[in-house]
Amino acid sequence: MIEEIRLRDLGVIAQATLPIGPGFTAVTGETGAGKTMVVTGLGLLLGQRADSGAVRAGAAQAAVEGVWIVPDAGAVAERVGDAGGDLEPLGDGRAELYLGRTLSAEGRSRATVGGRTAPVGVLSDLADDLVVVHGQSEQLRLRSQAAQRDALDRFGGTELLDAAERYRAAFARARRIAEELETLTAERESRRSEADDLRAALADIERVDPQPGEDVELARRAERLAGVEELRLAAATAHAALSSDDDQPDAQALLGHARRALERAAGSDAALAAHARALEDLGYRVSDLAAELSGYLADLDELGPHELAAVEERRAALNGLVRAHGSLDAALQLRDSGAQRLADLDDDADRVDRLTAERRAADEELDAHAAALTAARRGAAARLGEAVTVELRELALPDARVEVTVEPGAESAHGRDEITILLAPHPGAAPRPVARGASGGELSRVMLAIEVVLAGADPVPTFVFDEVDAGIGGAAAIEVGRRLKRLASASQVIAVTHLAQVAAFANNHLNVVKSSDGSVTASSVQRLEGPQREAEMARLLSGMPDSDVALEHARELLALGAGG
C-alpha cells in the first residue's frame, strides 16, 4: 500500500506531497493542473521509461519519492534485500519501503530502493508486486495473452492452479527426456567413433602395461648403461691397483711386504708390532674392496649392450603412450576409468530403447495433464466471462457480453491453450479482443469489471486508474465510483478523475491546485474535507464552486458515496 508520494519539479508541479493511505483516493483538479503527473510520477517509481520532457521548465531535475507499507517478509522484502536496500520495521509484520527516482533535464535517470542506489530494473521487478496501473485507453495488467492466461488461472483458484502445476512438472520431465534422447541420437556416430578410439587406446595401454613411475626409473637406468665402458675401465684400473693377477706390484703385495718387514724388526722394538698389526688390518680392507670391485665388474659384464637396447626399446613403447595421451599418468588414468566409459558408450542402443519408452510414457502423461488443464481453464473461463458480464450490466453496459475463450495454441511450459478475453458490446456484434473491440469508455468499464471480479481471487495491493471514467457520465459514472469503492475494500485504489460521481465514493479526496505568477505555473496538492470538498465537487459538476444548486447536488452525491 502506498502511504505517501512526494513530487518535485515534475511537469507543472513544483512541489507536492500526496497523502494516500488505505481505501479509495480520488485525485481531481482543473484541466492542465497536473493530475496526470501523479500517474507519471508513480510510473517513474515503478521503473517506467523516463522522459526528460517531464522535468519542469527551468528545473535541473525532477524527483519522485514514495513510501510503501509492505510485509516485512516475502517477495518484495527479498528483492529489496537483493538490491542492497533496507526496510524500516513497523511491527505487526509490516515495514516501510522507500523508493525514489530522479530525472535530469539531460535525460539521466537514477533510482533508489530502500535507501540504496539501484538499477532502474529493480523498480520494474518490484512493480508487479506493488501496483497495477490502468491508463485512459489501455490497461497494463492484461495487455498480453500471457497476462490474460495468468489472470484466468488465478481466477480459477486452487483446482486450476494445481492442474497447471502438474502440467508444468510433466512438461519439464517430457522435455528433459526428449532432449536427452535427441542428444543421444544426434551424437550416435560420434559416440560410436569415440568407442572405437577408446577401445584401441585401451588395447595399446594394455599391451604396453605401464607401471607408475616406470618412465623415471628407465631414464635413470639408460643413463647408467650409456656410460658402462667408462665405468668398467675405472673399476678395472682400481681393481688392478689393489690386487693384480700379473707380476706387477699391487697394493696388497706392497702392504704385505711392509707388514713382514715390521714384524721382523719388532723383536728389537715392541712399538713396531702395533704398526704391523695396523698394516695387517689395511691388508684385509684392501682385499675386501678388491673383491667388491671384482663383483661390480662382473655385474657390468652381465649388462652389456643388449641390456641398453632392451631399456631403450621399453622407453620407446612408453613414449608412444606419452605422445598419445600427454603423459604416462594420463595413460594410467585412462586405463583405470576408460572401461566404465566404454561400457557407457557400448550401451547406447539399449539407452535409446529405454529413453524411447520413457518418452512415450512421458508424452502420454503430458497429454493427460494438458487435457485436464484445458478442461479446468474452460470451466473457469465460462465463470469469468459470466461474472464480468454481470458487472458490466451494473456499469451501464446492459447488453455487453464478455467471453473468455480457450483455444488450442502452441505448446509451452504453461499449457497448450491460447487464452483471449473478448467483448461483444451489443447484441449482434461479433466478440472481438477486448483491447480492440471497445470504445474508450467501454474499455475503461470492461477493465474495471475485470479487476473487480479478479480482486476476489487475485488480490493486488494497489490499483491506479488514470481517468477510468473517460467517455461516461450519469448513472454509469456512479456505478464506476461504486465499483472502485468496492474494489477498495480489499485493495488500495487511486483514481484520477474528472467526474464528481466517481470522486464522491472516495474516502480520501486530493485536489491538484494550479496557480500562476505570470511566468511559471506550479501546482500543489491539497486534501479536501468538509466545505472545501463540497466546493470541488460543485466545480466538477457545473464548473461553479459557489453555485447553491451545484453545492446541493454535491452534498447529495457525497451522501450517496458515503452510503455505498
Element (H, E) at 114: none
Q: What's residue 99's pLDDT?
A: 95
Residue of 225, 217, 234 lying closest to 304 (CA atoms): 225
Collapsing DSSP to helix, strand or coil, 495 comes out as strand
Q: How far apart are CA 506 and CA 540, in angstroms?
A: 14
Which residues are CB-contacts of 54 (< 8 A; sequence separation ≥ 6)? 10, 11, 37, 40, 44, 62, 103
Strand partners, 65: 6, 100
Residue of 374, 314, 318, 345 lying closest to 152 (CA atoms): 374
Q: How far apart are CA 489 and CA 210, in angstroms?
A: 82
Collapsing DSSP to helix, strand or coil, 417 comes out as strand
Angle separating helix axes 228-242 and 251-265, nearest 10 degrees = 20
Q: Return the sign of the alpha-carbon dihedral for residues 493, 497, 502, 504.
A: positive
Residue of 207, 191, 215, 192 lying closest to 335 (CA atoms): 207
53 grid coordinates: 520532457
Q: Hey, what's the torsion of the CAs at 476, 477, 480, 481, to 10 degrees?
A: -140
Residue 171 Cα distances to 359, 362, 372, angstroms: 11, 8, 13
Q: What's residue 437's pLDDT?
A: 59
Q: Which residues of the chain have pLDDT under 70?
A: 134-144, 186-189, 191, 194, 226-229, 247, 300-306, 308, 344-349, 435-441, 444, 456-459, 470-471, 516-521, 564
Q: What's residue 186's pLDDT?
A: 66
Q: What's residue 458's pLDDT?
A: 66
35 grid coordinates: 493530475
Question: Is the distance from CB of 461 to CB of 4 less than 8 angstroms?
Answer: no
Question: Is the distance from CB of 49 to CB of 519 less than 8 angstroms?
Answer: no
User: Strand pairing of 492-496 and 462-466?
Assistant: parallel
Q: How far apart are CA 508 and CA 21, in angstroms?
A: 8
Q: Max Cα separation, the chain?
A: 164
Domains, the chain, with CATH or none: 2-141+441-528 (3.40.50.300), 189-346 (no CATH)
**Residue in the structure block whose three cell numbers are 481505501:** 23
Q: What's residue 136's pLDDT?
A: 47
Question: Is the distance from CB of 407 to CB of 194 less than 8 angstroms?
Answer: no
354 grid coordinates: 529405454
Question: Is the distance from CB of 76 to CB of 99 less than 8 angstroms?
Answer: no
pTM of the model: 0.61
407 grid coordinates: 483455444
Q: What's residue 171's pLDDT?
A: 96
219 grid coordinates: 631414464
**Residue in the structure block whose three cell numbers are 464506476:** 480
User: Strand pairing of 492-496 and 24-29?
Assistant: parallel
Q: What's residue 19's pLDDT?
A: 92
Collapsing DSSP to helix, strand or coil, 35 comes out as helix
Q: How far apart are CA 514 and CA 277, in angstroms?
A: 132
Residue of 478, 380, 361, 366 lying closest to 150 (CA atoms): 380
Q: What's residue 138's pLDDT?
A: 45
Per-residue pLDDT of 422-453, as tens digits, reads 888 888 888 888 766 566 667 767 777 887 88
Question: Is the distance from CB of 96 to CB of 87 less than 8 angstroms?
Answer: yes
Q: What's residue 65's pLDDT?
A: 94
Q: What angle do CA 433, 425, 488 make, to 5 degrees?
A: 80
Which residues are CB-contacts of 104 (< 8 A; sequence separation ≥ 6)? 52, 55, 60, 61
Query: Could you tell me how far CA 101 lies from the centroid of its own chain?
Result: 25
Buried-state track 54-76, b at ≥16 Cβ within 10 A, e below 16: bbbeeeebbbbbbbbbbebeeeb
